[in-house]
Amino acid sequence: MAFCLGSSRVLGVRVVSGLRGHRCVQRMRMSGVPVRRSAAALIIGDEILTGKTLDTNSNFLAKFLFARGVDLKRVEVIPDDMDDIGESVKRLSDTFDYVFTSGGIGPTHDDLTYEAIARAFELDLGLDESIVAEMKRIQPDVELNESRLRMATIPTKSEKLETEGLWVPLVVVNSNVYVLPGVPSILERMLNAASSRFGNGLPPRSRRIVYTKMHEGDLAESVGKIASKYSQVAIGSYPRTEKTHRYNVKITIEADDQAQVEACASEVVLAINGVDDVDKL
């Protein structure tokens, strides 16, 4: 359960003056008020939707972006379908400051991401000789057959960000769409290498975590009242998911204003007989 940030009290929804995504950011930037960048993740793959593969990339992205003061606003999972990919990436690119796609850039028939993104932005696809050269340098014994060359065929007019030790670049299309592989270890290396590009200098939101032996049904009313009092603080309530957890509920308190977070957390601790160190339970 989440108690919302801002004036809206609808659970799980954050509304700020009716503005969304990069439109809100652009209008706020014009006023000179610092605003957090927004992001969306587009996870591509039939294997995710059919349960064959567990998606860990969106979780990594959420943590990666939070640490850089970027708000991940949307995660979508879609199949390996040309139209779905194109529609989704164009819509997200129009709405958010950053879009991160994951998956669909390998050598097989169902790897359609580069082509779908090129179509979405009315770009051509072309074999990038610099990528081919890196393939040859890093994997000199691997045959560059037609299938492997598909991985070097990318949308024209795109930017390429190199990662040490990898031949595959982080391709950037339309200035805000970052095209990443689905393999978690490679995705993480590429994002870490390009980390300075994300965010606008704002620090991560302040966060406090409070643990309690109480159950959600017993604490919901008191925590809800505190949430109403601190309208600029996001309070989340999460029951334990493992029997080995020593707590029954974990409460998170987050906001840009650290003083507000501390004041709110103090009230939560008193209201639910909570602690900030789970080992104290």
CA–CA separation, 163 and 183 (whole Å): 15
CA–CA separation, 234 and 65 (whole Å): 17
206-280: CATH, from 3.30.70.2860, 3.40.50.300, 3.10.20.340, 3.20.20.140: 3.30.70.2860
CA–CA separation, 144 and 101 (whole Å): 25
Render pLDDT for 73-129 as a digit per residue (tens, 0 to 9).
Answer: 999 999 999 999 999 999 999 999 999 999 999 999 999 999 999 999 999 999 999
Q: Which residue has the higher pLDDT, 85 or 7?
A: 85
**The pLDDT value given to residue 31:** 52
**The pLDDT value given to residue 222:** 97
Residues 6 or more apart whose Cβ sits within 8 Å of residue 117: 85, 86, 89, 101, 123, 155, 173, 177, 179
**The pLDDT value given to residue 34:** 77
**pTM score of the predicted model:** 0.86
**The pLDDT value given to residue 1:** 57
37-197: CATH, from 3.10.105.10, 1.20.1260.10, 3.40.50.300, 3.40.980.10: 3.40.980.10
**The pLDDT value given to residue 30:** 52
CA–CA separation, 277 and 281 (whole Å): 8
Torsional sign, CA 205, 73, 43, 117: negative
The token duo for 135 is 């393939």
Domain with CATH 3.40.980.10 in the chain: 37-197
- C-alpha torsion 193→77→253→241, nearest 10: -110
Strand 234-239 with 125-127, pairing: unpaired
Strand 125-127 with 153-155, pairing: antiparallel
Answer whether residue 10 shows pLDDT above 80: no
Domain with CATH 3.30.70.2860 in the chain: 206-280
Phi/psi for 267 (5° steps) reads: -70, -40
Segment 170-196 mean pLDDT: 98
Rg, Å, the chain Cα set: 22
